[in-house]
Amino acid sequence: MAQTGWTTTIDVARQQQHNTKSFHGIKRSHDQVDAVLPYHCGFQEVSNVIPAQEVLKRQRLHAGGKNRIEASKICSLANSPDISNSEQPLRRISALATRPSQNPLLSLSHPRYALPERLVINFASLGINSIYPWQSSCLLGRGLLNGQKNLVYTAPTGGGKSLVADVLMLKRIIENPTKKAILVLPYVALVQEKLKWLRKVVEGVEKSVSVGSQTSSQLPVWRRPHNSSVRVVGFFGGSKARASWSDVDVAVCTIEKANALVNTAIEECTINNLRVVVLDELHMINDDHRGYLMELMASKLLSLESSVQIVGMSATLTNTGVLAEWLDAKYYNTKYVPVPIEEYLVYDCSIYPVSTSSAFFKTASQLNSTQPWSGVCPTRVIQSSEHRELRNSLIIAVVSLAIETAKAGYGALIFCSGRQGCQSTASLVSEAMPVLFDVDEKVLDRRKDVISELRSLPVGLDETLDKTVMKGVAFHHAGLTVEERDIIAEAYDKGIISVIVATCSLAAGINLPARRVILQGARMGRDLIGPAMLRQMRGRAGRKGKDEFGESYLCCQKADLEEVAQLLEADLPMVESSLTPEKRGIKRALLEVITVRLATHMTAIQDYVQKTLLYRTMDRTLLDTMVSKSLEELIESGLATVDNFGSYEATLLSQATVASYLTPEDGIFLHGELRRALRAFVMDGEMHIFYTFTPLYNSQTDINWPIFRREMESLDESGLRVLEFVGVNPGLVNRMANSAKPLPESTASEIRTARIYRRFYAALQLRDLCNETPVHLVAHKFDVPRGFVQTLAQICEGFAAGMINFCEKMGWGMLKAALEHVIDRLKAGAKADLLDLAKIPFVKSRTARVFWENGYKGLRTVAEAEAKDLVAILLLAQPKKSRLDADEEAKYHQKLLLKAEIIVGAANRLWDQQQQIEIGADL
């Protein structure tokens, strides 16, 4: 009989077993998991008796004094095979592990690859001791290793795609020390993750720089050229890197930054220095908003007919052959998955195995039918729950599957619809986690360390995470700040956190594989997820080198069964051009090639168009008509001119538009805004300049009209003049606040008006950030997630840099100077008097003001301070927190002391640099 109520010390004593074995990394059957004592951890060996006071302490820790809920037991059915037995998959993996020794080509040290020894050693230190057969076959394709042929390939998520591109790219750079590479990724998080990885891979690797008759690697260290190491630099919005194109060997970029680098290299006639471009997530060409940038960048490189090797890859390509034809490339397709993954459908608390999508379709169709069918039998069932919170069959399935995974000592990843759903599901899973499930002191201490790290952030500790992390559960979505997400991801990767509940954005972002992936429904928001996103999410199950097995559970409501079945049967969408008339990418493409003087005559323009993917898929007559019409529109809007000889030339406005990474339409809009500002810029306040810095597009800015009205009513006379000047009508704001209806956006005029109101609303948040209001307080004031506020600040930094380029190209020097002054405040989140202090790591915004108010008013005063004296200052700058016990408070102070030591050290370096600059100026 199942035990109810609290576990007593007598119960513990009766159940005690000595010399227990660690279960970490060992797959157990579900029956074994159910039999595990509730105080066995699954991460470390536990063999000591727990003192009674410790039992009571942990009961309070885990339950918080409330009646806890319990997950339901998952039982195997007598008439179904026990699918939990992992012996067979483990035998398959064991057989695969013998292959590298049998095939010498599966070692990167093989002479055919001709890789430097240090590079091979670095790969091995990162867990890559051998490669897969498909990787070897792909790399050894004719003309690939020597860079003579382009490559397009596809492999499932977790199948090792990136390694092929890494080898090709690094080989080119090492063997051609004067050449450069660009690696293109769609998201900032992926760029940051790849930066860390590549820097580890190239650590200590020397380029083949010749010095006399010897290469740099053959010379003593003291004789090697200072630039012989491989330099990897990231380019993305909000990046603090100030490296120029000449300082880079490998540029890891977002799509926008990569396109800008290519444009700069063409204009400066240094494009011949580019040797390889890697397009990761090549399916992004399909993206309605950013896909055209990837296509026009590749088309420009093809038009140059240079020696640039283009490598494109994705897990979700179907028309690889068409893309390869466009890029004049070899193509390679594989369905190889390095670890076995079993997939299941969960419906009405029953678990059905699904070996193929067609089997899934058949299973789902039969389950949705009113007629019973003997061919569909569940293998396991989830017992119903008496707890009110777990009566929904979908919720109880997700919670029970997650806790079963955590009890077995493995990681579970739950994909949920929306930020609120993530947090509520994480709370439920943590509340249902068995009492005293984790008694290993090391694990509990490390979880306390995670909470301490979160607490020490400027935004403070999230209330939900405060309750869930100690149970080994957390959530991950865009509403968290970058620092919070990094801490949670690292804790999960290290096994400190067992369960993460995330939105679908994580599936295409950071690499966090799990033993078990659980999809809480097939909808993200109101819409059914697409087949590509579904594969991305399910592909997070299992990962070579981190797990030997993977499971994917798709939990469905009855209403979604039929649509889910169709989704599983659906083919991946074909990758198509984004330069079509509907997506308006062709005008941006033509504007860029004219501006960088890649094509300035109709013949050259037609040659460029023939290098696009659009040329392969669109009727030629229609395409010619569209190109002619787009050129006419560029001339009519003042972005280009054409002379009597048919030669096209970019205007000053088009140069400013391209330099600022804007579309033609956005360039024209911004030009009008800035020209009005030049005629009458409101200089007795800050709102006008903050409005100018606010991006034209910010998908995360939904206007809360009552808050807009409140902030508008608090504006001073200067702010009210800005309101009128930019075109915000207070009467309209008041009406919208009373009606709670969205602004109409059906016509071009309405779209322009809505953009102005959104920009001004975002500018109000930006104003507060630059006036030292912490991110979490701005988020609370405007009722938005703090991650959104942080993202707004980062986007504004990139947009502000574009505005400075725009003003420089247009010759508006005074406006440029005003913008440059404020961009430093934007980065610091502080007023002008704190800009020196804000250069120090960890001293930003409110923290810088607290330093100033306590006598630390410059780099010198901080550099001369004792680290222990700064701890009290840092405590003053922290958000209010609940009282901690003595041990936890001591640990918290120790973390602040370490941070203070970093601050003092950085202030010393910055002060020395400042002194050297001043001495140099005097000389």
Examine the pLDDT at 620 and tell me if it is beyond 50.
Answer: yes
Least confident of 363-372, 536-545, 555-564: 363-372
Residues in Cβ contact with 670 at an 8 Å cutoff, skipping those fewer than 6 apart: 660, 662, 696, 803, 806
Most confident of the following: 191-195, 238-242, 328-332, 683-687: 328-332
The pLDDT confidence band at residue 347, using thresholds 50, 70 and 90, is confident
* C-alpha closest to that of 702 among 731, 740, 739: 740
Burial class (CB in 10 A: 0-12, 13-18, 19+), 755: middle
**C-alpha to C-alpha distance for 793 and 798, rounded to whole angstroms:** 9
- Give pLDDT tens digits for 4-23: 344 433 343 344 443 433 33
Q: Quick check: 309 and 147 in contact, CB under 8 A?
A: yes
What global pTM score does this model have?
Answer: 0.80
- Give pLDDT tens digits for 591-603: 999 999 989 999 9
The pLDDT confidence band at residue 277, using thresholds 50, 70 and 90, is very high
Between these two residues, 169 and 444, which has the higher pLDDT value?
169
Q: What are phi and psi of 645, to 5 degrees?
A: -95, 5
- Give pLDDT tens digits for 376-429: 678 888 888 878 888 788 889 999 999 999 888 888 999 888 888 889 999 999
Between these two residues, 95 and 355, which has the higher pLDDT value?
355
SS3 524: strand
User: If you average pLDDT over residues 351-372, what whole number do you get?
Assistant: 65
Between these two residues, 223 and 167, which has the higher pLDDT value?
167
Mean per-residue pLDDT over the chain, rounded = 80
Between these two residues, 5 and 247, which has the higher pLDDT value?
247
Tokens coding 301: 């490189």
The pLDDT, as a whole number, for residue 439 is: 54
Most confident of the following: 282-296, 319-333, 378-392, 548-562: 319-333
The pLDDT, as a whole number, for residue 31 is: 44
The pLDDT, as a whole number, for residue 917 is: 75
Residue 346 CA to chain centroid, in angstroms? 29
Alpha-carbon dihedral angle through residues 184, 186, 187, 191, given to the nearest 10 degrees:
-10
The pLDDT, as a whole number, for residue 607 is: 92
**C-alpha to C-alpha distance for 347 and 344, rounded to whole angstroms:** 10
What share of the chain has pLDDT > 70, as a percent?
81
The pLDDT, as a whole number, for residue 478 is: 81
Q: Which domains does the chain have, with CATH numbers?
A: 132-333 (3.40.50.300), 343-569 (3.40.50.300), 585-650 (1.10.10.10), 664-829 (1.10.3380.20), 834-923 (no CATH)
Between these two residues, 921 and 478, which has the higher pLDDT value?
478
**C-alpha to C-alpha distance for 597 and 587, rounded to whole angstroms:** 15
For 252, the enclosing helix (H) or strand (E) is strand 250-253
* C-alpha closest to that of 344 among 527, 495, 564, 505: 564
* C-alpha closest to that of 518 among 412, 649, 622, 369: 412
Between these two residues, 797 and 469, which has the higher pLDDT value?
469
End-to-end CA distance of the chain: 87
User: If you average pLDDT over residues 285-300, what whole number do you get?
Assistant: 87
CA 387 vs CA 67, 395, 431: distances in Å: 10, 11, 12
Range list of β-strands (E), 570-715: 640-642, 648-650
Tokens coding 162: 């990136």
Q: Is 568 left (phi over 0), alpha (psi -120 to 50) or beta?
A: alpha
Examine the pLDDT at 675 and tell me if it is beyond 80.
Answer: yes
**C-alpha to C-alpha distance for 413 and 537, rounded to whole angstroms:** 9
- Give pLDDT tens digits for 705-751: 999 999 999 999 999 999 988 999 999 999 999 987 788 888 888 88
The pLDDT, as a whole number, for residue 199 is: 94
Q: Quick check: 544 and 223 in contact, CB under 8 A?
A: no
CA 874 vs CA 251, 536, 815, 871: distances in Å: 36, 42, 37, 5
Q: At what angle do helices 664-679 and 786-810 cross, to 10 degrees?
A: 80
Examine the pLDDT at 280 and tell me if it is beyond 80.
Answer: yes
Tokens coding 592: 């860029």
Examine the pLDDT at 325 and tell me if it is beyond 90.
Answer: yes
